[in-house]
Amino acid sequence: MSTEETEQGCEGEKSNLHPRSYSQRAITYDKPTAAIFTAAARPSLLARVNDWLNNECVLGYVLLVPALALLLIFVAYPFFFGTYISLTDARIGKPGHFIGLQNFIDLWSDPIFRQTVGNSFFYTIVTTIFKLPLGMLMAILLNQVFPLKRLVRAAVLLPWIIPTVLSTLAWLWMFDSTYSVINRILKDVLNVQGPIWLSDSLYTLRTTDMTIFRLTWPMISISMVNIWRGAPFYAISFLAGMQTIPQELYEAAVVDGAGAWQRFWRITLPLLRHVIIIVLLLSIILTLADFQIVYILTRGGPTNSTHLFATYAFQVAVPSTDLGMGAAISMYMFPVLAIVVFLTLVSLRRED
């Protein structure tokens, strides 16, 4: 988004009102064409609307109306409505009463919610730690010269573009407790007995009276699918960024005796900064707010140990019909998202 143009409002142009014949308007495109409002010319209504729209400023707003109207009705209004619902005890088919922050307070004593918060952060942080270097490695590979390059590029992007629930169904089948093809390969090739991917427990962090966080194979499986699906997005974005870096920079670096490693750290990485920040922003938001992978693989189970904010909100709001509580669970995502967005915008602004 460029900010370099000067902005001017419609009202500033009234000073330009002066009688001018209607037919002359065409050559005044850069100046406001308010001449039609003078009594002298009195053109038809259509011509007047036409001329009014020819005003850069009026047209600018008019063209925004359809998009903004839709976004106001289906994004802005639901956002505030959702905030209101989270402050009520509404259920599906029953309006509910205002109960203040009760839902938000109750959630803190809900062990499933605490596990959900832990899962959401684990999922977002761990997958991002893998996706970022993996994506970079994939981009570097895709930027090399090798046979069938275009085909490989298209193939590598597939996990990201195919409907997530459908590819996750393939993973669900690969994780099957009896027929898991992954375990079959592990057994036949490496002679290793694989876990029961979607139910085995690994590690439990607990105090004497309560469980703080459980790390389970299901959570790891879910993260693996997310990395598989998300890394191509990093890769393709980084690849796009790499292709905008002038080749001369590398040539000059080679002349100066820089090795491949130095060229990467001193040229590629700094020039990709902008792309990296944007990709991280989008990826962190999508991962924290993810729904599909968990919904397909575990539905939050076993025993509610793998919920993320979105799947727990769905389970409470839709099957259990507790809209108020569900909305409150979703709303807990908001401050985290807001902080991520804020930090990104700040770091992007600082560059300009």
Partner 1 sequence: MRVKPRAVVMRFATTYIPVFAMTAITLFPFYWMVVTSFKADNELYNIKANPLVVLAPVFTQYQRLFNDTLFPRWITNTLLVSLASTAISLAFSTLAGYSLARLRYRGATTIGWAIFITYLVPPTLLFIPLLGVVSSLGLANSLLSLILVYPTFLIPFGTWMLIGYFKSIPQELEESALVDGATRFQAMFRIVIPLALPGLLSVGIFSFTLSWNEFIYALVFLQDATIKTVPVGVTSELIRGDSFFWGELMAGALLGSVPVAVMYSFLVEYFVAGLTAGAVKG
Residue ranges in 79-118 that form contacts with partner 1 under rule CB under 8 A:
79, 81-82, 85
Contact status, residue 267 vs residue 253, Cβ threshold 8 Å = yes
Q: Output the CA–CA distances (angstroms, integers) from residue 108 to 71, 97, 210, 317, in the order listed.
A: 33, 21, 13, 17
User: Contacting partner 1 (CB under 8 A), which of 15, 44, 144, 191?
Assistant: 144
Nearer to partner 1, 173 or 265 (CB): 173
Q: Is 269 in the site for partner 1 (CB under 8 A)?
A: no
**Total binding residues for partner 1 by CB under 8 A?**
110
Contact status, residue 300 vs residue 306, Cβ threshold 8 Å = yes
Q: Is 57 in the site for partner 1 (CB under 8 A)?
A: yes
Q: Is 170 in the site for partner 1 (CB under 8 A)?
A: yes
CB of 294 to partner 1, least distance (A): 11
Choices 98-106, 110-118, 198-206, 272-280; region in contact with partner 1 by CB under 8 A = 272-280
- C-alpha closest to that of 117 among 310, 281, 282, 284: 310
User: Contacting partner 1 (CB under 8 A), which of 154, 254, 269, 339?
Assistant: 154
Distance CA 200, CA 298 (A): 12
Give the list of residues 6+ apart from residue 233 with CB closer than 8 angstroms, or none.
135, 160, 279, 282, 283
Q: Is 78 in the site for partner 1 (CB under 8 A)?
A: yes
Instruction: Report the chain's terminal Cα–Cα distance, integer Å.
Output: 11
Q: Is 334 in the site for partner 1 (CB under 8 A)?
A: yes
Distance CA 162, CA 326 (A): 29
Distance CA 210, CA 32 (A): 70
CB of 210 to partner 1, least distance (A): 28
Distance CA 246, CA 235 (A): 19
Contact status, residue 332 vs residue 288, Cβ threshold 8 Å = no
Q: Is 73 in the site for partner 1 (CB under 8 A)?
A: yes
CB of 265 to partner 1, least distance (A): 17
User: Contacting partner 1 (CB under 8 A), which of 35, 36, 87, 313?
Assistant: 313
Q: Enumerate residues 2-31 that contact partner 1 by CB under 8 A.
A: 2-3, 5-10, 26-27, 29
Contact status, residue 243 vs residue 153, Cβ threshold 8 Å = no
Q: Is 203 in the site for partner 1 (CB under 8 A)?
A: no
Q: Is 193 in the site for partner 1 (CB under 8 A)?
A: no
Q: Is 192 in the site for partner 1 (CB under 8 A)?
A: no
